């Protein structure tokens, strides 16, 4: 018999995928340019030319056996060193190549990090709203996800609310800043308080509580701010990164786990990730892509469009009377819906060809997510349509 | 605390990796061309130029968003269709794109296939000698690997011996032909008998016993034979393939699970693989590589060197008095060692700069594996050295 757990998962529907399929189908009817599809978090700007050039050069000039051969089981040494050097230079860290474990994007990074610092049955705390793929990631590690609400005024962490949920089974805290879906960027104040709290809680419960920091949006921050580097605020941190967003390479599956050099068992965690890989069938991200990214590790796509889009949407939402926290980064914004039933709100918006994702899927009904990784021109037209929708329906 | 199971795995040593590291270190002393390193199964011929050309073309001509964007969760449709068409054309199958699940090589394919057709606690049978990574793959699925000896005269399956190990907990049989480490190619007779046996056993135990066929060496077969297509012999087959060997792309992590259209629950298994991926952090093989392989799906590297090497080594082994089964494919040969303690034999060979892997790691002491994916000139020199070793030591 086939596996019943995975079979039953087939009956669950992905709201985001359904919305996206609806948008595609509707696009065939009226032209996709007339469907204001804010459902998908797929980068809307091209990878930098430097990345393409480096790939072509590797393919044309380097020995194909070296380009396409197996990576060492703990990853390509040049990539690991380039990542360590870049993080050290930018954030004043002291990583060596040995602290970097290359992975197939942030998903691969989280799959490894969670298994590395939890035992089956342990609890992992995250904050709502949150990216719902955390459920299968944590379940896949055999741990249990405990969801704590973020501060609804700011989407920052409410330390007291978190502390009330920590117990002897808490192995790790899983955070995501800048945040999907809220766009919130955790402030230095939040992170300082979180670090202090985790040190206290670790002492109280007699074991280190690890911080798993999911940060694929780290380079997409607004208002001239640089995102605080989370691992600076708490030594027992595993940073999970992906180049999907900053280099617009989501399909190429490239990212890493970076283990803070001062983390408990820091020397063991990357080699353990190598062991974890064996059971997952992971065996490193693609070798060509590791070698290419190693050469462009500090480049990014032109990410400025996301801030332009955020400004247009935020201003319009405020003008139309929405309650909304101004995003500090990402390409998401997460307003409260104009009626408590966010599914109903999004269904009505859909009649105006506005495709928003109800907050229910992020464990916070009463909100909706707009992913604004789309052309600015379309964003402007969508905001006119949004005004019409609000005027006619609410 | 970090995970104790994965931490303990660090104390286990990989014999193959140690040998390979020894060979590298020794190469620094005496020149790597003088180290006869038969330890690693890394392809020794370049990827075909057609693959490089297609990659460069995609990078230079196609919209980077389409090249590097997310693959759909069940894989790139063109790649899936190209694989189905190719298998149908070559082997008279009736796959649709929906029967193909793209994976990060055979490792990814096995990780998905095993989870799809087992429940935790189930048993999976394989045949010794076998690729030892089957242990973590099966353990990662929560199942138990049961090892049955192959027929030592031929390395074919001994059906009676297998049947004695099948019971109510047997969920799947895991085979690998052409075989690592033995080089054995299962004959049509073996596969016919296996299929008939599995139908009988499925009826007797009241549930389908699935066949998981690990076939990354499918295209490396000798003597003008084409490998029998295993799924033709038993309908409940999940074929796990990798382009690592045939296209010499082991680092690019590209392969698939192909579900026989007549397999029980065939329509569910690929979508279930998509669900399994979520917990593994898999999320499809790299998009550029899927798109490129889709265009060269019937090409291979120049694989002829492996047969040349096999002939040289097989003849010399026979001449020197080794008992050895002639490989039908792969780039491995698996002779009995000249003393029962194969670790001792390999240690003595190492003093002659001959790096062989003891059979203990493949659960068959008394043998050793030679991976002959190396230059033919070096193979010839190694055979002279082997003659000297045997003459002086045995």
DSSP string, A309-336: HHHHHHHHHHHTT---PPPSBTTEE-PB
Task: Note whether B256 and B323 are same-domain residues.
Answer: no
Q: How many CB atoms sit inside 10 A of residue A92's CB?
A: 9
Residue B62 has what pLDDT? 97
- Note the pLDDT of residue A227: 87
Q: What is the pLDDT of residues A55-70, one digit of tens each?
A: 999 999 999 999 999 9
Instruction: Give residue B12's pLDDT.
Output: 77
Name which of A107, A82, A115, A136 is nearest A270 in CA terms. Answer: A115
For B268, the closest of A10, A47, A103 (CB atoms) is A10
Q: Do the Cβ atoms of A287 and B2 come within 8 Å?
A: no
Which of B232, B265, B295 terminates a domain? The answer is B295
Angle at which helices A49-61 and B49-61 cross, to 10°: 160
Task: Provide the phi-psi class of A224: left if phi over 0, else alpha when psi is between -120 and 50, else beta.
Answer: left
- Are A68 and B248 a contacting pair at CB < 8 A? yes
In the block, residue with structure tokens 């390193």: B37
Output the six-digit token pair for B319. Answer: 């001449």
The β-bridge relationship of strands B357-358 and B368-371 is antiparallel
B231 and B180 within one domain: yes
Beta carbons of B238 and B258 less than 8 angstroms apart: yes
CB contact under 8 A, A140 and B286: no
Smallest Cβ–Cβ distance between A251 and the set B118, B140, B287 belongs to: B287
**Whole-number average pLDDT of chain A:** 96
How many angstroms separate the CA atoms of B322 and B335, rounded? Answer: 6
Looking at the structure of chain A, the number of domains it has is 2
For the cut 80, the answer to whether the pLDDT of residue A13 exceeds it is no
**Option in A10, A64, A284 nearest B47 (CB):** A64
Please tell me whether residues B123 and B245 are part of one structural domain. Answer: yes
| CATH (domain of B331) | 3.90.1150.10
Q: State the Cα–Cα distance between residues B240 and B258, nearest whole angstrom.
A: 7
Q: Which residue of B has its CA nearest to A254?
A: B286
Q: Which residue of B has its CA nearest to A49?
A: B64
Which residue(s) pair with A128 in the sheet? A149
pTM for this model (two decimals): 0.96
Q: What number is the ipTM of this complex?
A: 0.95
pLDDT at site B273 = 97
Residues B82, A387: Cα–Cα separation, whole Å: 46
Average of pLDDT values for A219-244?
Answer: 96
* Contact between A139 and B281 using a beta-carbon 8 Å cutoff: no
The CATH number for A280's domain is: 3.40.640.10
Residue with tokens 């997409």: A220
Contact (CB<8Å) A107/B282: yes
Which tokens in the block code for residue B370?
């030679």
Please report the pLDDT score of residue A105 as a whole number. 96
Would you state the pLDDT for residue B259? Answer: 98
Same domain assignment for residues B237 and B208: yes
SS3 state at B147: strand
User: Is A52–B64 a contact, with Cβ atoms under 8 angstroms apart?
Assistant: yes
**Residue A381 has what pLDDT?**
98
Residue A165 CB partners (closer than 8 Å, separation 6+): A125, A146, A148
Is it the case that residue A78 has pLDDT exceeding 90?
Answer: yes
Considering only residues A144 and B5, tell me which one the structure prediction assigns the higher pLDDT: A144
What span, in angstroms and rounded, lies between the C-alpha atoms of A338 and A221?
A: 27
Q: Label residues A319-345 b or e (16+ Cβ within 10 Å = b).
A: ebebebbbbbbbbbbbbbbbeeebbeb
Q: Which domain holds residue A348?
A: 4-47+302-393
* B246 domain residue, yes or no: yes
- Asked whether residue A67 falls in the same domain as residue A18, the answer is no
Tokens 């889009």 correspond to A309
Nearest-CA distance A142 → chain B (Å): 10
Task: Please indicate, yes or no, whether residues A233 and A330 belong to a single structural domain of this protein.
Answer: no
- Provide the shortest C-alpha distance from residue B58 to chain A (in Å): 10
Asked, for residue B56, whether it belongs to a domain, the answer is: no
Facing A3 at nearest CB: one of B6, B272, B289: B272
Q: pLDDT for B328-357, tens place per residue? A: 999 999 999 999 999 999 999 999 999 999
d(Cα A131, Cα A180) in Å, to the nearest integer? Answer: 6
Q: CB of A245 within 8 A of CB of A45?
A: no
Set of chain B residues whose Cβ sits within 8 Å of the Cβ of A289: 286, 288
Same domain, yes or no: A83 and A23: no
Token pair, residue B391, equals 């003459």
Cα dist. B235→B238, B262, B272, B307 in Å? Answer: 9, 5, 19, 31
CB contact (8 A) between residue B7 and residue A283: no
Is there a domain that residue B221 lies in?
yes
Residues B234 and B278 reside in one and the same domain: yes
B75, closest residue in chain A (CA to CA): A251
Q: Determine whether the interchain pair B1/A109 forms a contact, defined as Cβ–Cβ distance below 8 Å.
A: no
* Nearest-angstrom CA–CA distance, A389 and A145: 37
Torsion angle in degrees (nearest 10) through CA of B135, B139, B143, B147: 20
- Which secondary-structure segment (H or E) carries B187? none
- Residues from chain B contacting residue A59 (CB–CB below 8 Å): 52, 55-56, 59
For residue B120, tell me if it sits in a domain. yes
- For A313-331, the pLDDT digits (tens) are 999 999 999 999 999 999 9
**Residues B282 and B184 placed together within one structural domain of the fold:** yes
Banded pLDDT at A376 (limits 50, 70, 90): very high
Residues B203 and B321 in one domain: no
CB contact under 8 A, B73 and A276: no
In A, minimum Cα distance to B103 occurs at A281
Question: Counting beta carbons within 10 angstroms of the beta carbon of residue A29, is it exposed (0 to 12), middle (13 to 18) or buried (19 or more)?
Answer: exposed
Chain A nearest CA to B237, separation (Å): 12
* Both tokens assigned to B12: 């286990």
Do both A229 and A118 map to the same domain?
Answer: yes
The angle subtended at Cα A53 by Cα A72 and Cα A293, nearest 5°, is 35
Contact B133 A278 (CB under 8 A): yes
Say if residue A202's pLDDT is above 90: yes
Q: What is the pLDDT of residue A380?
A: 98
Do A350 and A240 lie in one domain? The reply is no
Domain boundary among B295, B330, B348: B295
The pLDDT score that the predictor gives to residue A314 is 98
Which residues on B lie below 8 Å from A105 (Cβ)?
281, 283
Which phi and psi (to 5°) does residue B177 adopt? -140, 130
Which residues in chain B land under pLDDT 50? none
Contact A6 B59 (CB under 8 A): no
| CB-CB contact of A70 with A287 (8 Å) | yes
Q: Which of A12-21, A252-261, A328-337 has the lowest mean pLDDT?
A: A12-21
Q: Which of B295, B324, B354 is the last residue of a domain?
A: B295
């Amino acid at each position: 018999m086939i596996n019943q757990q995975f079979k039953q998962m087939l009956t669950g529907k992905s709201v985001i995928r359904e919305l996206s399929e609806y948008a595609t189908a509707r696009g065939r009817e009226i032209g996709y340019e007339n469907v204001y599809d804010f459902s998908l978090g797929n980068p809307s700007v091209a990878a930098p030319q430097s990345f393409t050039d480096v790939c072509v050069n590797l393919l044309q000039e380097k020995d194909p056996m070296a380009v396409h051969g197996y990576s060492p089981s703990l990853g390509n040494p040049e990539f690991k060193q380039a990542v360590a050097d870049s993080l050290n230079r930018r954030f004043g860290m002291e990583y060596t190549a040995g602290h970097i474990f290359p992975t197939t994007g942030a998903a691969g990074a989280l799959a490894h990090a969670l298994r590395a610092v939890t035992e089956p049955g342990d609890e992992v705390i995250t904050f709502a709203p949150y990216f719902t793929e955390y459920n299968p990631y944590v379940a896949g590690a055999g741990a249990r996800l405990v969801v704590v609400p973020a501060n609804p005024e700011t989407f920052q962490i409410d330390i007291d609310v978190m502390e009330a949920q920590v117990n002897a089974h808490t192995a790790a805290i899983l955070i995501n800043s800048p945040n999907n879906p809220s766009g919130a960027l955790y402030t230095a104040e939040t992170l300082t308080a979180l670090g202090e709290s985790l040190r206290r809680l670790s002492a109280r419960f007699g074991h280190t509580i690890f911080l798993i920091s999911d940060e694929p949006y780290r380079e997409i921050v607004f208002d001239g701010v640089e995102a605080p580097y989370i691992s600076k605020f708490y030594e027992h941190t595993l940073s999970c990164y992906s180049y999907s967003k900053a280099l617009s390479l989501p399909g190429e599956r490239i990212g890493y786990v970076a283990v803070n050099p001062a983390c408990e068992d820091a020397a063991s965690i990357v080699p353990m990730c190598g062991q974890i890989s064996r059971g997952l069938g992971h065996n490193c991200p693609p070798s060509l892509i590791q070698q290419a990214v190693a050469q462009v590790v500090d480049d990014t796509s032109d990410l400025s469009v996301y801030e332009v889009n955020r400004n247009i949407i935020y201003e319009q939402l405020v003008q139309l009377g929405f309650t909304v926290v101004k995003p500090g980064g990402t390409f998401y914004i997460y307003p409260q819906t104009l009626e408590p039933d966010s599914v109903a709100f999004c269904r009505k918006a859909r009649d105006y060809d506005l495709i928003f994702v109800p907050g229910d899927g992020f464990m916070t009904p009463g909100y909706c997510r707009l992913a604004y990784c789309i052309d600015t021109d379309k964003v402007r037209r969508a905001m006119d349509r949004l005004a019409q929708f609000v005027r006619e329906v609410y």
